[in-house]
Amino acid sequence: MTRKLIFLMLTLCSVPFCAQAYKAIDTADYVQRKEFLKNFSGNNENLIRKLKSQYSGRTASELVKIYKEFGADFEKQVKNKDFVFRSEFDPVIRNLIERLRKNNPRIPQDLKILIAKDNMPNAYCLADGTFVINMGLYSWLDNDAQIAAVIAHELGHKIDDHTFKMVLNRVEQNEQDRSTVQGIKETTENRSQGRNQKAFDILKNRVYKKSVEKRKQEMQADSLGYSIFKRSDFNKNEFVNALQKLQNFDTISPRVLKEETYKKLYDLPKQAFKEKWMKKEDFSLYNYNFYKEKLNKDSLASHPEMAKRIEKLKKTFPELNISVESEKPSEAYISLKKTARMEILPNYFHSEDYGVGIYSAMQFLQDEEDEKYYKAWLGKCFAKIYEARKNYNLNRYLDRIEPKEQSESYQQFLNFMWNLSLDEIKNIADYYQFGAITVK
């Protein structure tokens, strides 16, 4: 499975840093996590009781099952320290929400803030009012107003209860499909191929319908989110600016790792660089058109293209047709942006994306950023890759090459990584862990 490659874009946005050593976010937050879990569990139980009273039969049992599973999964993420408490992000996000709440009484009062150790520029709101902000938003957007724009969009989802509507629709669709599938089983048609095709058509129509509904909800959340945003004290044009920044995230060309960077980093005192490490697998003779996709990718998309979302907003709200440059960030925002950037490697390490972590560290080092810091993380990630290679489970932490999906630079990196022997990986790990000052 191809991992998310946000690091490809992050290195385009150079941020100056002071020479002093970076102090990582404090994750000693046992008390806060315990209190959050207690409240979250209670809120989820209350929601389940409410669903039992409002619905009956199979619908009620299916809804209860879904929210129990979701609750258990989210609690597992919290226990795994996928979120940070007491961080410098919290008061800033609370302030942005309070600014949005002015003149917007529909915004819930019981919102709780969680900062996710996730490098994707995203945010989401849960049924109990827990608002999750990914650190990646600060790595990609320009200022507080654009962060607030993303929050406003998610509040649009929350106010219109889009998540629950999708869950309820899924349950109801399950019941309809169950009845239809039973009819297919009872058909007198002898050919299994015909029945298989009918069953597949049910699946295809279902996923297409779900994607259409999701795209519709995104448009609705944009409109409602902008209505919230423009009534606050933020510059209303920053709403579109935020979407345009995210559009760039969707479309921008990846950075390229130069061959000189490999030679500089891996020509070691006790292990000379080997040209054979850079040998590429030849996919030129592979016929990608031989296999025909059974599902149309465009119909599967759960989000409309950002350009269409922006076009829809400008048509609905004519004042957004005036282009305005992004406002300069505040000093507080610049500080958080630096923090988010320095947490990119710890976040990849935490999520066990060690291959992605190595590629990201190499890009930072190619740009000559904080060598001690990123070389230390390079060593940590290579040590994990060594363990995985030794235990025959490297596929869990390092992508296989997919020419249709990956940039040439990333394919070259994957070729390099898979070409290394077990001993060569260990030598690199040892050099960067013990041959340089490590970061604890």
What residue ranges in 237-344 does DSSP mark as E strands? none
- Asked whether the predicted pLDDT for residue 254 surpasses 80, the reply is no
CA distance linking residue 79 with residue 371, whole number of Å:
32
Contact 146, 336 (CB under 8 A): no
pLDDT at 354: 97
- Bridge-partner residues for 125, per DSSP? 131
Predicted confidence at residue 6, as pLDDT, reads 47
* Residue found by looking up tokens 């949005």 in the block: 100
Q: Above 60 in pLDDT, residue 20?
A: no
How many whole angstroms separate alpha carbon 248 and alpha carbon 243? 9
Written as one letter, the residue type at 193 is: Q
Mean pLDDT of the residues in the chain: 85
Give Cα separations from 198 to 30, 170, 202, 239, 312 (angstroms): 52, 20, 6, 44, 36
Is residue 9's pLDDT more than 60? no
Higher confidence at residue 292 or residue 50?
A: 50
Summarize pLDDT for 84-138 with one digit per residue, the tens. Answer: 987 899 999 999 999 999 889 989 888 888 999 999 999 998 888 888 999 999 9
C-beta separation of 112 from 129 below 8 A:
yes
What is the band of 440 on the pLDDT scale with cuts at 50, 70, 90? very low
**pLDDT confidence bin for 203, thresholds 50/70/90:** low
pLDDT at 301 over 60: no
Hey, which residues does 268 pair with through a beta bridge?
A: 271
222 phi and psi angles, rounded to 5 deg = -60, -50
- Percent with pLDDT over 70 in the chain: 81
Give 353-401 pLDDT, tens digit per residue.
Answer: 999 999 999 999 999 999 999 999 999 999 999 999 999 999 999 999 8
pLDDT of residue 16: 45
Sign of CA dihedral 165, 168, 174, 180: negative
pLDDT at position 352 is 96
- Edge to edge, the sheet with strand 130-134 lists 83-84, 112-116, 130-134, 123-125
Give the burial class of 331: count Cβ atoms within 10 A of its Cβ; 0-12 exposed, 13-18 middle, 19 or more buried. Answer: exposed
Question: Is the pLDDT reported for residue 300 higher than 70?
Answer: no
**What 3-state class would DSSP assign to 130?**
strand
Q: Which two tokens stand for residue 327?
A: 């406002």
**Cβ pair 187, 195 in contact under 8 A:** yes
The model's pTM: 0.85
Q: What angle do CA 138, 141, 143 make, to 5 degrees?
A: 85
289 pLDDT tier (thresholds 50, 70, 90): low
**pLDDT value at position 294?**
58
What is the rounded distance in angstroms from the CA atom of residue 217 to the CA atom of residue 410?
34
Q: What is the pLDDT of residue 173?
A: 81
Strands (E), 232-391: none
pLDDT average, residue stretch 281-293: 60
Pull the structure tokens for residue 40: 């979250």
259 vs 404: which has the higher pLDDT: 259
Residue 338 has pLDDT above 50, yes or no: yes
128 near 148, Cβ under 8 Å?
no
Report the pLDDT value the prediction gives residue 267, as an integer from 0 to 100: 97
Q: What is the DSSP letter of 286?
A: -
Check pLDDT > 50 for residue 13: no
pLDDT at 314 exceeding the cut of 50: yes
pLDDT band at 25 (very low <50, low <70, confident <90, very high): confident
- The whole-angstrom separation of Cα 296 and Cα 298 is 6
Report how far residue 208's alpha carbon sits from residue 274's, in angstroms, rounded to the nearest whole number: 49
Task: Convert 335-354 to b/e letters by CB count within 10 Å (16 or more is b).
Answer: ebbbbbbbbbbbbbbbbebb
Q: Cα(40)–Cα(32) distance, rounded to whole angstroms?
A: 12
